[in-house]
Amino acid sequence: MTTTQHTIEQKLQAVFSPIHLEVIDESHMHNVPEGAESHFKVVLVSEAFVGQKLIARHRQVNQALKEELNEIHALALHTMTPEDWFNRGGTVTDSPPCLGGSKQT
């Protein structure tokens, strides 16, 4: 069985030929049924982003994943050029804790 996470990884690999790609299923951090693939964080480093503004990068990713975006609830994007990635020390910020649904206090 192919997972949504695997499908996202395959599509992003094919479209962007990234030098670094992480697709992290963060669904467990949210108030969703066990096994739900609803919340993802994508770290995508590609030469394809050189010279592009952040909004253009995100639009490209959204276009590549248009079918999957109909099925998932949230997609956190960290799109960088190799230079951006190097300047950040190869790291991105952690996702904030979920404040929605029944997890609010």
Rounded to whole angstroms, how far apart are CA atoms 50 and 74? 25
Residue 97 counted as domain residue: no
27-31, 37-41, 61-65: least confidently modelled range: 27-31
Classify residue 34: in a domain, yes or no.
Answer: yes
CATH number, domain of 67, equals 3.30.300.90
Does the structure show a pLDDT above 50 at 33? yes
In a domain, 99, yes or no: no
Is residue 20 assigned to a domain? Answer: yes
Asked whether residue 98 is assigned to any structural domain, the reply reads no
- Tallying the residues shown for the chain, one arrives at 105
Residue 30 lies in a domain: yes
Q: What distance separates the 2 farthest-apart alpha carbons in the chain?
A: 43
Per-residue pLDDT at 99 exceeds 80: no
Q: Is residue 14 part of a domain?
A: yes
Task: Say if residue 28's pLDDT is above 80.
Answer: no
Q: Domain total for the chain?
A: 1
Q: Given this model, what pLDDT does residue 65 score?
A: 95
> Residue 71: is it exposed, middle or buried by C-beta count within 10 angstroms (0-12/13-18/19+)?
exposed
